[in-house]
A and B are shown apart, each in its own frame.
Chain A
Amino acid sequence: MTAVPIGWFLILGSLLFSIGALGVLIRRNVIIIFMSIELMLNAVNFVFVAFARQLHSLDGQVMVFFVMTVAAAEAAVGLAIIISVFRNRETVNADEFNLLRW
């Protein structure tokens, strides 16, 4: 197995992370924003796994499990919040939530 240098993994992870971050900035639909955040988390997971492989340490993989579990919990609460927002406002467009400002 030819070893891919760790740097490449880091660059790919950073790219995925940036794509996710840009998605948060650009997209208007809160569900898609949330999916972009998930992409960011998964980019980090990717970096964790890469490091775990390089360092021959299980900690990184354990961390990935925790991140996935936490992300699931976060998704549950987040979707619940989005639903309750949708019930009151009948929209999931992030631009329209600006009752609170200044």
Chain B
Amino acid sequence: MLYRMINPPEISWIAILPVLLLSATAMLTMVADLWTDGPDREGLGWIGLVGLMATAIAAVALWNTKLTSFAGAVVVDRYGLFFTLLFCVAAGLTLLMSMSYLEQTDIRTGDYYSLILFSTVGMVVMATAADLIVVFLGLEVMSIAAYALAGIWRSQVRSNEAALKYFLLGAFATGFLLFGIALLYGVAGTTTLTGIAQTASGATAEQRTLLIAGMALMIVGFGFKVAAVPFHAWAPDVYEGAPTSVTALMAVGVKSAAFAAFARIFMHTLAVMSPDWSAVLWVLAVLTMTVGNVTALLQRNIKRMLAYSSIAHAGYLLVGMVAGGELGGSAILFYLLAYTLMTLGAFSVVIALGRRGQPNENLEDYAGAGFRSPFLGMAMSIFMLSLAGIPPFGGFVGKFYIFSAAVKSGYIGLTVIGVMNSLISVYYYVGVLVRMYMTDGGVEITQPSSRPYLFATLVVAVAGTIALGLFPSTLFEVARQSFLALG
């Protein structure tokens, strides 16, 4: 009786248009790679950029709709579309900086571009998933591509090691996530988020036990991807060892995608269980912020410092999840946007300072950089101040939203810890400024204006970081509508 006729589910092609376009672009770059030879593969980057642009346009066109596809397994709502657009920005900027960055590495394979795009496909799938199977698929598409990307600089021992660590620990974490999914499936009898939400709202005591166990295991899985303490240990090593552009994508794209699914499942599907999970996330948030910021203080390698910084930012985002509600949810979305721009910008500066055979990733290399390249110095100052949460930049407004949400929900203690942490963080962010403006020495710098792609990345990131700081209200409204689209 199990073996019924197979009814293929209805597929709304319009709904999955962004994913389709993106996947097609990724495959196109793979094919086009056959016709490109020589060391320059910027053409592939351009194909990717056009594809991302098309994806973004499709996402904007779908903005006022709420479509489902694959029998409700994929839901294209504003929440998903907001993240789709965020990933287009993140991937687009990553491609742009890569087009300059690859010159200073030995990465000569066109697969690099298609892997970035495939990873982005995974992110979009995660953000629009309405079924745990699809969440898992998206996560794996994103992660497998990211594992390969981390190790794509094959001749570099550090890149190898980063890929290996990321892969082993990532697969390990996936096991926990899957176990969690299995338990939720066992309780609800379905893997759709709506079905699970229904079960959760009327759960018996026995069902609650399994639900809670499933939730705990999913927290481990998502906690790994967002790099929350104590599941964060991979992040500094992998961020340091991976090629810088890949690190940038991991820091913003992978983290945002994980938060997209994490927030959708916990803040919406399992919202009724929030008294249970918010206590755990409270502790995780405090640990993540504190360990991230405190450990960052002593770092000498800028990529590693930014890795700890990104751990700390995951902590602030967890504060938003704990705060919950409309304000907390919209604050997370806004914060991720600001975080994406300033982090990508910071990594572009790291790339700009490096040169072939000489990555210049130590803080000492930044000595006097502010004088040798005023533009780079100004850009880095803006990113660092914004990351530190100093007004009037995007990071400040984002933190203000997050902590306002926490205060409004009555989490005064969490806010105090968060504010203290953000004050500690100022120390190492401004430490970079001190290096750039108050010390001499350092390395020769190729002016970014002579590297058009990198220059473009920096200009976009600077403009975005400032705009989000000065004119945040429109985008916050967009974020609010997106979060409210969850229903």
Contacts and interface: CB of A to CB of B under 8 A. Distances in A.
B167 A66 contact: no
Contacts of B189: 55, 57
A44 B175 CA distance: 7
B140 A20 contact: no
A6 B240 CA distance: 45
Contacts of B161: 85, 97, 99-100
Interface residues of B, number: 41
A85 B283 CA distance: 37
B164 A85 contact: yes
A63 B184 CA distance: 13
Contacts of B136: 63, 66-67, 70
B190 interface: yes
B133 interface: yes
Given A44-B175, A81-B160, A37 B168 contact: yes
Select the residue from B174, B175, B238 with max chain A CB neighbours within 10 A: B175
B157 interface: yes
A89 B155 CA distance: 11
Contacts of B28: none
Contacts of A37: 168, 171-172, 175
Contact of B160 (A10, A40, A63, A88): A88
Interface in A72-102: 73-74, 77-78, 80-82, 84-85, 87-89, 94, 97, 99-101
Contact of A44 (B155, B171, B178): B178
B108 interface: no
A28 B244 CA distance: 29
Contact of B186 (A6, A20, A66, A73): A6
B147 A41 contact: no
Interface size on A, as a range, is 35 or more
Main secondary structure of the interface of A (DSSP, over half): helix
Given A30-B168, A66-B136, A100-B162, A74 B175 contact: no
B205 interface: no
A30 B162 CA distance: 14
Nearest to B170: A74
A20 B174 CA distance: 13
A56 to B, nearest CB: 7
B167 A57 contact: no
A64 B178 CA distance: 10
A73 B189 CA distance: 27
A20 B175 CA distance: 10
A62 interface: yes
B17 interface: no
Contact of A66 (B2, B137, B163, B240): B137
Contacts of B155: 88
Nearest to A80: B148
- Shortest 10 CB-CB contacts between residues of A and residues of B: A40-B175, A100-B237, A51-B186, A44-B178, A85-B160, A47-B182, A55-B189, A70-B140, A37-B171, A81-B163
Given A24-B172, A84-B160, A99-B157, 14 more contacts: A10-B186, A30-B168, A56-B2, A59-B185, A62-B133, A63-B191, A66-B133, A77-B144, A78-B147, A81-B160, A85-B151, A89-B157, A99-B158, A100-B236
9 contacts: A24-B172, A41-B171, A44-B178, A51-B186, A63-B133, A84-B151, A89-B157, A100-B165, A100-B236
